[in-house]
Amino acid sequence: MSPLNRRRLLTGTALAAVAATAPRPAWAGVGALNVADGFAGVTALGQNGTTGGAGGQAVTVATAAALADYVGRKEPYVISVSGRIQTGDEMLTVVANKTIVGVGSTAEITGGGLQLGSTTRPGNNVIIRNLRFTNASDDSISVTNSAHHVWIDHCDLSDGYDGLLDVKRNSDYVTVSWNHFHHHSKAALLGHSDTYTSDKGKLRVTYHHNFFDGTDQRHPRVRFGEPVHVYNNYYRGNSLYGVASTMDAGVVVEGNYFENVAHPVLSGYDKSGPGRVVERNNIYAGSGAPETLGAVVEPRTYYSYSVDDPASVPRLVTAGAGVGRVQGVA
């Protein structure tokens, strides 16, 4: 964010009026039903799973000014977003140890997006849940600049300018779960570019129980990352492709349901060289055949998990993905 726009956001008394210190909500810790799983739950890089702002002060925000201020503070915070926040066309930088969660089913960030990490301020240990993102001028959520241990869960993302949810530039240990992606072309990029080879050995991401609902591409589109674990997602009417593994990435695709997807799984895409793909126990309803190539490091090397019957995925995911469905969120 430019200094001028930041000054505009923090002008006047609005910040004090809308950011109220509140008792710590019951869901703010990492409880039995609120634990980051997949790669975000792995102990690595000095971080014991992903806990966000647990242990920090709980606040409620209702304006862009308050949101920009609290996500950029160095201390841990649990930040509840109330109502619809118009951020202009800015990406708000989120720094380490934050939980950002929507209140009820109407919390929304529109116009801009959230960028986790900058070149000088890490965006590690961040949780984003139960938020709607619309009309972003760039990405809706960007996990970048070596951010690690990030959990993005039960969000609704649509109608932005670029990607709905990008993970790139040496980021690692991320889980994307139970989100609804719709009314957009580019859903979930993983890996900055074909020439950004420093992503090798990083970009370990889990995607599970997401609803890729009519989005065209990038579910995800992977460069270099291994292992990338894509399981129990529901793909419906994705016109270009479902999953694409490129640039020697290693992707495990299992237990997903592909409905009317002509190219459900690709090895290589456009000008990007082929990546490795292992697929197993997926359902391809009215869809083409998957492409597979080579061997991939097993996700169980890092964490344990169970896979739902892929035949149940459309029912489970349409009932559970998106906002307003997280137990314990007021």
For the annotated catalytic residues, the residue numbers are 218
Residues 97 and 61: their CA atoms lie apart, in Å, by: 17
Instruction: Specify the pairing of strand 141-143 against strand 113-116.
Output: parallel
Q: Tokens 């109502």 map to which residue?
A: 83
- Taking residue 138's Cβ as centre, other Cβ atoms within 10 Å add up to 16
Q: Which two tokens stand for residue 49?
A: 């799973």
Residues 196 and 99: their CA atoms lie apart, in Å, by: 29
CA 83 to chain centre: 21
Sheet holding 283-285: strands in order across? Answer: 84-86, 108-110, 132-134, 156-158, 180-182, 211-213, 234-236, 257-259, 283-285
